C-alpha cells in the first residue's frame, strides 16, 4: 500500500464507520454518476463501487492511481482518471462518463472528496463552478474552513470564503471528523460539509455585478451587505431584508444604518430604505452621514 506523501497533503481516513457515514451523506442514487476527487487507497470508493451507476476516480498521485486502476480498472462502472483535479477538464471528464453510461452528456452526478488541506479553497470553487453543477457535494475539510464555509453573516467565522461559497451553494456542516480517524494523524480536526449547489444561482453577468457591488461596502458592514445583494440576485428579497435588519440590530450605529439604506437603494427598494432611514435618524438625530441621505423627492 502506497504511503502518504506530505507534499500532496495526504491523510487517509481509516475509520470504516466514518467512511460509511461520509458516503451516506452524499445520498447517491443507484443510477448516479459519482465523482470522487483524491480517492487515495479507495477508503470511500469501496463503499461506492457497485452501489452507483458509475464511479469516476480522479487521483493525482502516480502510485495511488496505479493501485486504483489495478483494483477496479477492469470494471465497466468504474473509471480511473490519473490527473490533477485542479488542472484537468473535469466537465469533459464528467460528460465523457455520462455519454458512456447514458448515451448523453447531462446525467446527474454528485461529487465527494476528502480534500487535501492545502488545496481546499481552489478545489471547492473548482467543483462549485462546474457546469452543469453537481446535485450534491460532500467535502471533508479542516474544521475551521468548513465552519467558515457555512457561517452566518455577523458571526466571527463569516468572511470572503463564506460569501464565495454561499453565492454558489447552500452549505452546512454535517458532522465532525476526529483527527484520530486519519493516518497519518493530522494536527487539526475536520468536519464533513454538505453543499447543495444553487439551482437559482445567478448567471455570470449577475455574479460579476455582485462582486463589483460588494467591493463598495466598508469592511465592517460588508458581510451583511454582501449577503443581502446575493439574496437579491436570486430573487429572495425576504432574506435580503432579514440580513439588513440583522445588520442594524447587531451594529446600531449611524454608519451601519447609512450602509443598510444604501444597500436597500442598490437593491431597488426605496420604501424599505426610507423606513430604515427614518429609524436611523430617530436613533441618531445629529449624525451628518444620515442627514446627507435624503429620501427622493
Predicted pLDDT at 215: 55
In a domain, 89, yes or no: yes
Cell of 135: 446535485
Predicted pLDDT at 203: 64
As for how many domains the chain has, the answer is 2
Residue 140's DSSP bridge partners are: 114, 192
Predicted pLDDT at 4: 46
Q: Count CB atoms within 10 A of the CB of residue 205.
A: 8
215 shares a domain with 94 = no
In a domain, 296, yes or no: no
Ranges in the chain, pLDDT < 50: 3-5, 7-8
Predicted pLDDT at 8: 46
113 shares a domain with 54 = yes
Predicted pLDDT at 212: 59
In a domain, 1, yes or no: no
Residues 6+ apart with CB under 8 A from 9: 116, 117, 118, 119
Total residues belonging to the chain: 297
Q: Can you tell me the distance from the alpha carbon of 151 to that of 193, in angstroms, rounded to the nearest whole number? A: 12
Supply the CATH number for residue 267's domain.
1.25.40
121 shares a domain with 139 = yes
Predicted pLDDT at 222: 64
Rg (CA), the chain: 23
In a domain, 190, yes or no: yes
Q: Can you tell me the distance from the alpha carbon of 12 to that of 39, in angstroms, rounded to the nearest whole number? A: 9
Q: Which ranges of the chain would DSSP assign to H, the alpha helix?
A: 16-26, 62-72, 90-102, 120-128, 143-149, 160-166, 204-214, 222-233, 237-250, 254-266, 270-283, 288-291
216 shares a domain with 99 = no
Range(s) of the domain holding residue 58: 6-197
The model's pTM = 0.75
Predicted pLDDT at 152: 81
Supply the CATH number for residue 183's domain.
3.40.50.150
In a domain, 297, yes or no: no
Q: Over the stretch 159-183, which tens digit does the pLDDT of each residue have?
A: 778 877 887 899 999 999 999 999 8
Number of H helices, E strands in the chain: 12, 9
Amino acid at each position: 500500500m502506497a504511503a502518504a506523501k506530505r507534499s500532496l497533503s495526504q491523510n487517509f481516513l481509516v475509520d470504516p464507520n466514518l467512511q460509511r457515514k461520509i458516503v451516506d451523506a452524499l445520498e447517491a442514487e443507484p443510477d448516479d454518476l459519482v465523482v470522487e476527487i483524491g480517492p487515495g487507497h479507495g477508503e470511500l470508493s469501496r463503499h461506492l463501487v457497485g452501489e452507483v451507476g458509475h464511479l469516476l476516480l480522479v487521483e493525482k498521485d502516480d502510485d495511488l492511481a496505479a493501485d486504483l486502476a489495478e483494483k477496479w480498472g477492469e470494471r465497466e462502472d468504474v473509471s480511473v482518471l490519473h490527473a490533477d483535479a485542479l488542472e484537468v477538464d473535469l466537465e469533459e471528464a464528467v460528460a465523457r462518463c455520462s455519454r458512456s453510461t447514458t448515451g448523453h452528456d447531462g446525467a446527474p452526478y454528485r461529487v465527494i472528496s476528502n480534500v487535501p488541506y492545502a488545496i481546499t479553497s481552489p478545489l471547492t470553487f473548482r467543483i462549485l463552478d462546474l457546469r452543469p453543477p453537481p446535485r450534491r457535494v460532500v467535502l471533508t475539510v479542516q474544521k475551521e474552513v468548513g465552519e467558515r464555509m457555512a457561517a452566518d453573516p455577523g458571526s466571527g467565522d463569516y468572511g470572503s470564503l463564506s460569501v464565495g461559497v454561499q453565492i454558489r451553494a447552500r452549505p452546512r456542516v454535517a458532522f465532525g471528523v476526529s483527527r484520530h480517524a486519519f493516518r497519518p494523524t493530522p494536527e487539526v480536526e475536520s468536519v464533513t460539509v454538505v453543499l447543495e449547489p444553487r439551482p437559482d444561482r445567478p448567471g455570470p453577468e449577475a455574479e460579476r455585478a455582485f462582486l463589483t457591488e460588494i467591493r463598495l461596502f466598508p469592511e465592517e458592514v460588508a458581510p451583511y451587505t454582501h449577503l443581502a445583494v446575493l439574496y437579491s440576485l436570486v430573487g429572495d428579497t425576504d432574506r435580503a431584508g432579514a440580513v439588513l435588519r440583522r445588520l442594524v440590530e447587531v451594529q446600531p450605529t449611524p454608519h451601519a444604518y447609512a450602509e443598510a439604506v444604501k444597500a436597500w437603494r442598490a437593491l431597488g427598494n426605496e420604501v424599505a430604505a426610507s423606513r430604515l432611514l427614518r429609524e436611523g435618524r430617530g436613533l441618531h438625530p445629529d449624525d451628518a452621514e444620515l442627514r446627507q441621505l435624503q429620501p427622493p423627492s
